[in-house]
Amino acid sequence: MSIASRRDFLLKTGQGLGGAAALTGLIPSVGAFGAAHAADLVDPLAPKQPHFPAKVKSVIWLHMNGAPSTLDLYDHKPDLVKLAGTDVPASFLKGIKTSTQGGVGKLYASNRTWKQHGESGAWFSDLVPSIAQHADKLAFIKSSMTVGATHDISILKLNTGDLNPGRPSLGAWVTYALGSANPDLPPYVVLYNGKSEPSAGSVNWNSGFLPAVYQGTAFRPGASPILYLDRPELRAATQQRSSLDLLKRLNALGTAQRPADTELLARVRSYELADRMQAAAPEAVDLAKETDATKALYGLDDPTSASYGTTLLRARRLVERGVRFIQVVSGAPDGETEYTSWDAHSDLEKNHGLMARMVDKPIGGLLADLKSRGLLESTLVVWTSEFGRTSYGQSGNGRDHNAWGYTQWLAGAGIKAGTTYGETDEIGLQVADKDKAVDTYDLHATVLQLLGLDHLKTTFLNNGRSERPTVVYGKVIKELLA
Amino acid sequence: MQSFDPANPSQPHHKRDVTTTPLQALTLFNSDIVFGWSQALAGRVIREAGNDESAQLTRLYQVLFSREPNKAEKTALKEFLSNEEKLIAQKTSNGKFEVAVPTGLKDTQQLNPIRAAAFVDLVHTVANSNDFAYRF
Amino acid sequence: MRKEIVAIVAMAALLAVAGGARSDQAELDTDLMHSIEDSNKSLASNIAIKETRGASSDAKELTEMFAQVEAFYARKGDAPDAVELAKKSRALSTQILQSVSTSDFGAATDSATTLSRTCKTCHNYYKKS
């Protein structure tokens, strides 16, 4: 009796294991294979040269999930404080469509004290004292804007450039364009703190229409970062090793017989990477060898910042090990159930008090640590969010979503440190000069540029159509580059 | 099962993605569910081919790949089996007597559990090798 | 299919204009907007792979479609910004056609990206959603 398909095998030998329905989704069907992809498949993760020389080798993408109010962190607006408690003057609402539940509230100011820091004199609120120490390392983008009033959609746009699923994430494009710098680890890793995976989903690190090998690998918090990294319980380590050696031997016999079979080669490479990852991944995330001083630097001794600090310390270790794109999604401190993201529609004071305490020391520590180890010269750190928050209040003591003007920042190799690009209006609601607006596409184009990639030349042929990370948009913001 | 890229229904495509990712490889090699399938397949092969080692190897390749193993493969497999038996024997002599044996066997079949466990390891590995897990 | 839509919409626009007194078309035809979006995406791809014929055809279609958008808003009378943006879009499309004909795909790419941004700018003010 022969097996006609993989589904057949599962049906015939996997009786009582959930049935065919549960399994058919597992197996991708193999279609006809075009010659165009053959070269890529020999080793899709082989390192590739950027379009032009660049300093940045690794990106740490700090996604502040839930959308922080940068009006309460970086974007100092004395006029907002002055006008707090009054209605938004009509002139500031021109050109935008508000959809706040409960209506546009009065202008809101939280209890902040603001100070200028460093030679650049950049403003920071009392919520981010550690990050403020690094004022002169940052290049602010105070004219950020985007679309979409809901988190999931805007997060998708932030990461993949589209409001609908189907496009590769920025990390996937980077992996596609540059390949891997460390054959033992995935080149694109997703980190998060908190109990569960980021709620917006894995579509935010998927490969879209790019080959699946470019998708992000999520490392879970805790000692066992990848599911199935450990062998089944009933197999000893010696059995695992000998089985993997047999696998290599059988695969070698296969490739010797079919040397031109690129699918086979790619597959063999995946198994080999998986084999190496079994040892390399736990080592990469193990903080045992880090000094107490380093751990304190990242805020691991404070229960509020401990989990986020752990992810950033892991991120630094991954950078040291050549991982190209590390997508860090902020979660919540261990045990926190009330404020689980930056999404402060109400209780902004308490919410941001907690969230800022969660990220401030770790981010300051990361910047200091990267600098002292000489890694800042080859790493790009990005503070980003799906949008900002409104100047007018919501629910009395919160702020609504604001896609019309907010702040993000860059730090690290190739950027013009200690500068600010663009600004919002006097009350921090909209971008002041629309010609200086920085959309997510522009942020992507700029990040790619820093990696040595021209976004217009980073293309992939999908069903006959040439695609690029910036869709049909994208402008490199030259003022941010050193 | 997110590690396997299910077809994206919102996008038309005439060619499915064929690259196996390391995550998929890890799942296939380490997941208890997949290992359970290997135990079942090992049981089936022993049921159908009997206790003779060569017959079992031939039957396994027929089931998985619709062909017989060639000489080089047979050599590799037999070497593996004898080596694996030693490894498992050592494990059990150290006190850990849990081994993964083939499932679905008839009572009448007298099996040396250590040898049977080695065969399970073999089946699992062969099932993960390029030919089968990748094509059909 | 897209060409048929363009033809039908063009006919409808002509009839509307010819109708004179009939100005009950309160909103811009969404089919027209979808066609523009499709052509724009196709244009970006064709420029990227240097497919001259495809890019020229897309650019020509866009020029015609933006003319209709311009006519619509001119007739409406209360949307001078939209008229300007439509004019600018038409000019950019013509520019792209020119660049493609001389194989200056770099210039064509720049114009195409500017054109996409112009779409967004107009949508900020005039798209109902």
| In contact, A266 and A44? CB cutoff 8 Å | yes
Residues of chain C contacting A459 with CB distance shorter than 8 Å: 48
Residues of chain A contacting B10 with CB distance shorter than 8 Å: 164-166
What are chain C's partners, defined as 3 or more CB pairs within 8 angstroms? A
In chain A, % of residues over pLDDT 70 = 91
The burial of A103, by beta-carbon neighbours within 10 Å (0-12 exposed, 13-18 middle, 19 or more buried), is given as exposed
Residues of chain B contacting A37 with CB distance shorter than 8 Å: 18
Q: Do B1 and A26 touch (CB under 8 A)?
A: yes
Residue of A nearest to B30 (CA): A231
Q: Cβ of A456 under 8 Å from any chain C Cβ?
A: yes
One DSSP character per residue, A312-326 reads: HHHHHHHHHTT-SEE
Q: Confidence class of residue A398 from pLDDT cuts 50, 70 and 90?
A: very high
| In contact, A184 and A275? CB cutoff 8 Å | no
Q: Do A472 and C109 touch (CB under 8 A)?
A: no
Q: Cβ of C121 under 8 Å from any chain A Cβ?
A: yes
All residues at 6 or more sequence positions from C91 whose CB lies less than 8 Å from its CB, including other chains: none
Produce one character per residue of B111-133: b if its CB has 16 or more CB atoms within 10 Å, e if not. eeebbbbbbbbbbbbbbbbbbbb
Mean pLDDT value across residues C24-50: 91
| In contact, A393 and A106? CB cutoff 8 Å | yes
CATH number (domain holding residue C89): 1.20.120
Q: Which of A16-25, A163-172, C117-126 has the lowest mean pLDDT?
A: A16-25
In a domain, C76, yes or no: yes
Q: Cβ of C124 under 8 Å from any chain A Cβ?
A: yes
B134 pLDDT above the threshold of 60 = no
Per-residue model confidence as pLDDT tens digits over A291-324: 999 999 999 999 999 999 999 999 999 999 999 9
pLDDT at B105: 83
- Count of CB pairs separated by less than 8 Å, A with B: 207
Domain A41-223+286-480 sits in CATH at: 3.40.720.10
Per DSSP, the three-state class of A268 is: helix
Q: Do C125 and A475 touch (CB under 8 A)?
A: no
Q: State which residues form the domain around C57.
A: 2-16+30-126
Residues of chain C contacting A474 with CB distance shorter than 8 Å: 113
Predicted TM-score of the model (pTM): 0.84
Those of residues 78-97 in A touching chain C at CB distance below 8 A are 95
User: Could you give the number of structural domains in chain C?
Assistant: 1
A376 pLDDT above the threshold of 90 = yes
Cα–Cα dist A219/A227, whole Å = 9
In a domain, C23, yes or no: no
Tell me, what DSSP letter sits at residue A408?
E
What are chain A's partners, defined as 3 or more CB pairs within 8 angstroms? B, C
C21 Cα distance to chain centroid: 25
C125: nearest CB among A95, A461, A474? A95
Instruction: For an interface test with A, give the residue of B8, B13, B29, B41 to mutate (most A CBs within 10 A).
Output: B29
Least Cα separation, residue A323 to chain B (angstroms): 15
Q: Do A472 and C42 touch (CB under 8 A)?
A: no
Least Cα separation, residue A314 to chain B (angstroms): 20
Per-residue model confidence as pLDDT tens digits over A64-107: 999 999 999 999 999 999 999 999 999 999 988 888 877 899 99
Q: How far is CA B123 from CA A324, B26, B33, in A?
A: 37, 16, 14
Q: Do C48 and A474 touch (CB under 8 A)?
A: no
Structure tokens given for A273: 């990477």
Give domain limits for chain A.
Answer: 1-28, 41-223+286-480
In a domain, C106, yes or no: yes
Residues of chain A contacting C42 with CB distance shorter than 8 Å: 465
